[in-house]
Structure 1
Amino acid sequence: MTGSVLPSVAATLPIESILLLLGLSFFLGLAVEEMVSPSIERPGGIRTIPLLSLLGLTLTVIVPGNTVFVLAGFFSLALWLSLHHVSKNSPDPDSKGYSLIHPVIALMAYLLGPVTILLPHWFSISFVVFIVLTLGGRDRLHDLAKSVPQEEIFTAGKFLILAGIIWPLVPDHLVVAWLPLTPYKIWEYVIVVSSLSYASYLIQRFFSAKGGLLAGSVFGGLVSSTAATVMLSRKAKELLPDQKASVSAELHGAIVLANTLMYLRILLVVVFLYPAMARPLLLPLLGACVIGSAMALYLVYRKKVSKDGAVAPENFPSHPLELTTALVFALSLVIVTVVLGWVGRHFGTSGIDLMAFLVGFTDIIPFVLGLVHQSTPDQAGMVAGAIMISASSNNLAKAAYEISILGLRRSIPSVIPLLVLAILGFVYAYLVV
């Protein structure tokens, strides 16, 4: 018997699967009836879709273990829907419109029968929910598609090529003895960090407008807290001479919040790449994130921000998926990893702590990755202390950036929380080392 890949289910057809199929198919048919404009001709509704699902179920179990009937039914339905589609798309301007989405829904309704019987119930439920959400989100999805610039689509395509095609081809063995990272591992770091930054960038650009400045600062901080600090400080410099005190509080709160998200970004990177090393970092990083967020919200809400005085959200960092940015990150990772290994061998923990303080005035993610990669679980205390030192010195650097842009007096409300976070980080490192 040809095509015998389906399991035999006719003899033990579970009643709960049949009831689930009936419920899901009626739900899908109702969604099609409610969400599709009556001006559009459709081959299916609350009656047809359940019948198509039952047809798929029947052809699945009528001859157990044979896919011929299922495939024959699928292609026959596809042929009929194609002819129906062609006949309804006549050049007559008075004829009803006809969308290709409806034949696709009919085919998916047919497949719902085999899916419900042969696959876990969570899959069949997700299958229907996805269809319904796609139907209901038609206008929003079209608006989103129109709002995405063409260069963003090209950038996403390039990223998929780099991550899905080139990355698997990179060799996964040590190339030189003095570099404890394989090219594959380096590229993995670049992909993970870039993915996190890119996701935050997209959310900040397309979805944070309604959330205002604070929402933008959250995602801007996940992309680059340093870039967010500089841009917010410049915006504050433009607005401070003639703005209300409440607006000043919102800007200072946004600066603190953007810097606070640096701790969450570090934790996410470690969780994705070295989950075993993430546990000892939970307390210091999440603790700093909570304390910083509390100080940021205090700055904002101690003086209620008026609707007229609210500051518009800012597009903080530049695009995080530029090839130059990725190459610079990879080069920084290689240099920091090599230097870190040399410092650890010759100067031990004190040398690593000093290096952690110095690299805090630059991008600390390469240092974090290089440190975690070359450490063992029994060195968790040293790793956590060094990471907190680098994060603290990074806060000092960003406080200096803010002072250089705004001046000392105007930057005090947000500089003080940054100094508090830095001091807490140094104290934690002193206690655990």
Structure 2
Amino acid sequence: MNLIVWSDELRFLVAAALGFLVGLERESRDGAITTKLTAGVRTYTLISLFGFGCAWLYKINIEFMVPVGVIVIGGMVLTSYLAKQKTGALGWTSEIAALLTFIVGVLSLLADIWIPMALGIFTTLLLSEKAGLEQYIEKLNKSEFLAVVKFLLVTVIILPALPDKDYTNFNLNPYRIWQIVILVSSIGFIGYFLMKKFGNKIGLWLSGLLGGIASSTAVSIAMGNIAKNNESISGRAFQATILASSVLYLRTLVIIYLVNAGFAILLWWKLVFLFFVGILLAVLIHNKSNDAPEPSISTIQNPFEIKPAVIFAFLFVLLSIVTIWVKQLFGSSGLVALAAIVGVTDIAPFILSIISNQIPVENIIGSAILISMMSNTIIKAIYFGFLAKNLRKQVALYFSCWVIVH
């Protein structure tokens, strides 16, 4: 049941509000009101309402008014640009914003209301973040950017060409395998770039949280090295390790939900509980760190590199075969022993291998997932404790408490 009925009157207000929002950003950019702009709050609001009016006429069967409106706004934009060009200004930003504002006005009446809202708000966000985007682009590592482009190109080319059917007795589906690779890589990609953008600026704690989306194991090793080389901030490094490991539970829950929602329903409360246990442990860690500068994490690999994606696909296929083989020989109970072993590596391929192909929800498989995560938690404690010798007792205590509640 819809709580709001989007009548034409409300849609009119949406068109006016979104035009006002874009105009407000244009008129107040750089933190101060500028007087040299040819378009501001009133102009952009009127452009949006002009689009709404054209859409209204279209709706009452005067269908040529929307194309006419596009031509009119396009002509005005071109005239504005040519006039601005004479002053030496060459940017198209305001002109493109005017065209988009007209489209927002049209869509406010003719489309699902979320479309003009999303377009208007995202346009305003892009316009307002000019300085931040330029700084981010300046800092963008070219090799990282090229890796993303190459991965996306390979994905666009490979995924549609892969057959969407099962092969061999192990039910290996090339299309689904590559879909899973893209899913996991995409989640890692988000965490990787958020960490790269915010981690060094805000500190090790946020680096741990964001890095946990990409790879909590890599964060544990990186933080162990930081604690080893900088004892003054070893407490914060340990907290960041706990936070990264905590995020793993939510990350896994999201992946499970996207691949086989039945297991997410079975495990969500346990994974959320383990996440909050980790947060509590991080808060309780006795932190003696001073205000020393915090080094950055540089050991996490871009998850959109081709090589790790191919390795992940190989591990997924291998563990899918091993999982089916173990299940055939030893039944579902054999997965429990296997889960304890695979925890020393990346557990995502294992978890995905046992829940994919729409298999029915079984408690024993849920237990195997939790055991693999427990095993992975233990190995991260070993990694960090091996490097941060001064924190070994604390690491053993806190991680032991965490493992027990699995």
Query: Does the pair score TM above 0.5?
Result: yes
- Equivalence for 1:73: 69
Instruction: Return the alpha-carbon distance in structure 1 between the equivalents of residues 162 and 276 of structure 2.
Output: 39
- Identity level (%): 26
- Equivalence for 1:169: 161
Cα deviation per residue 1:60-87 (whole Å; 9 max; x = unaligned)? 3346334423212312331342243124
Q: Does 1:386 align with 2:381?
A: no
Q: Quickly say closer, same or farther: Cα 1:66–1:220, change in 2 above 3 A.
A: same
Letter of the 2:73 partner, please give it: L
- Equivalence for 1:185: 176
Secondary structure of 1:396's counterpart equals helix
Aligned match for 1:320, one of 303, 306, 325: 303
Aligned match for 1:89, one of 78, 85, 90: 85
Aligned match for 1:311, one of 283, 294, 308: 294
Is the Cα–Cα contact under 8 Å of residues 41 and 98 in structure 1 kept in the other structure? no
How many positions carry a matched residue from both structures? 398
Instruction: Return the alpha-carbon distance in structure 2 between the equivalents of residues 422 and 356 of structure 1.
Output: 15
- Equivalence for 2:39: 44
- Equivalence for 2:132: 140
Cα deviation per residue 1:219-263 (whole Å; 9 max; x = unaligned)? 2222222221112112211123xx3xxx33222222222223222
Q: Quickly say closer, same or farther: Cα 1:84–1:362, change in 2 above 3 A.
A: closer
- Equivalence for 2:25: 31
- Higher-Rg structure is 1
Instruction: Return the alpha-carbon distance in structure 1 between the equivalents of residues 399 and 358 of structure 2.
Output: 29
Aligned match for 1:415, one of 390, 396, 402: 396
Secondary structure of 1:383's counterpart equals helix
Is the Cα–Cα contact under 8 Å of residues 204 and 215 in structure 1 kept in the other structure? yes
Compute the displacement of 1:264 (Å).
2.3
Q: Does 1:351 align with 2:334?
A: yes
Structure-1-length-normalised TM-score: 0.84
Compute the displacement of 1:281 (Å).
1.2
Compute the displacement of 1:96 (Å).
5.7
Secondary structure of 1:208's counterpart equals helix
Is the Cα–Cα contact under 8 Å of residues 204 and 315 in structure 1 kept in the other structure? no
Cα deviation per residue 1:264-298 (whole Å; 9 max; x = unaligned)? 22222112211222111112222222112211221
Is the Cα–Cα contact under 8 Å of residues 194 and 326 in structure 1 kept in the other structure? yes
Structure-2-length-normalised TM-score: 0.89
Instruction: Return the alpha-carbon distance in structure 1 between the equivalents of residues 174 and 181 of structure 2.
Output: 11
Is the Cα–Cα contact under 8 Å of residues 53 and 113 in structure 1 kept in the other structure? yes
Compute the displacement of 1:368 (Å).
0.6
Compute the displacement of 1:342 (Å).
1.2
Instruction: Return the alpha-carbon distance in structure 1 between the equivalents of residues 189 and 250 of structure 2.
Output: 15
Is the Cα–Cα contact under 8 Å of residues 105 and 116 in structure 2 kept in the other structure? no
- Equivalence for 1:274: 260
Compute the displacement of 1:190 (Å).
0.7
- Equivalence for 2:321: 338
Instruction: Return the alpha-carbon distance in structure 1 between the equivalents of residues 247 and 265 of structure 2.
Output: 18
Compute the displacement of 1:333 (Å).
1.0
Is the Cα–Cα contact under 8 Å of residues 174 and 180 in structure 1 kept in the other structure? yes
